[in-house]
Amino acid sequence: MATKPRVKIPDSVTAGEVITVKALLRHAMETGERRNGEGNPIARDIINRFEARFDGAIVFAVDLNPGIAANPFLEFTARIDRAGTFRLTWTDDGGEVTEFRHAISVSP
């Protein structure tokens, strides 16, 4: 079960500026390899896909695998030529999607 993501994206940039996007999601990233106190396996539950779209077009995407630490933190850069909206999505093994949207304005 995921909680509110913490994301850093600028509100406004100049056209052509390269920005850094930082995105942290609190998630246990349960590998499926561990066992509980009774020796029974703990079911795998990870974020398996992250996508960042800008006005619908993918600018950055990651397939995540078991073994990635809890609370995955992703950082990427993107060149912003025009105003638009970032939509970030995290998809977990249960199909639950956590979404974050952020509009960026552009000055010439």
Partner 1 sequence: MKAISRRAFATLMGLGTASVLVPPGVLGQATPRVVVIGGGAGGATAARHLARDGGGAIEVTLVQDSPRYTSCFFSNLHVGEVRDFDSITHDYDALAAEDGLTLVIDRAVGIDRVARTVALAGGDVLPYDRLVLSPGIDLIHESVPGYSESAAERAPHAWQGGAQTARLKSALDALENGRNIVMVAPPNPYRCPPGPYERASMMAHVLTSRGFTDSTITILDTKSAFSKQALFSAGWRTHYPGMIEWLPPDVHGGILEVDAAAGTVETDLDTFEGALLNIIPAQRAGAIAVDAGLADDSGFCPVVATSMRSTLDENIFVIGDASIAGAMPKSAYAANSQAKVAARNVRVDLLGARDVAATYANICWSLISPDNGVKVGAQYRPGEDGTITSVSSFLSEADESDATRAATYRESVGWYDAIIADMLG
Query: Cβ distance 24 to 73 under 8 Å?
Result: yes
Give me the 25-44 binding string for partner 1, x by CB under 8 A, dash otherwise.
-x-x-x---x----------
- Residue 73 as a binder of partner 1 (CB under 8 A): the answer is yes
Residue 101 near partner 1 by CB under 8 A: no
Comparing CB distances to partner 1, the nearer of 15 and 70 is: 70
The residue within the footprint of partner 1, chosen from 10, 12, 16, 22 (CB under 8 A), is 22
The yes or no reply on residue 8 touching partner 1 (CB under 8 A) is yes
Piece in contact with partner 1 (CB under 8 A), picked from 21-29, 51-59, 80-88, 95-103:
21-29
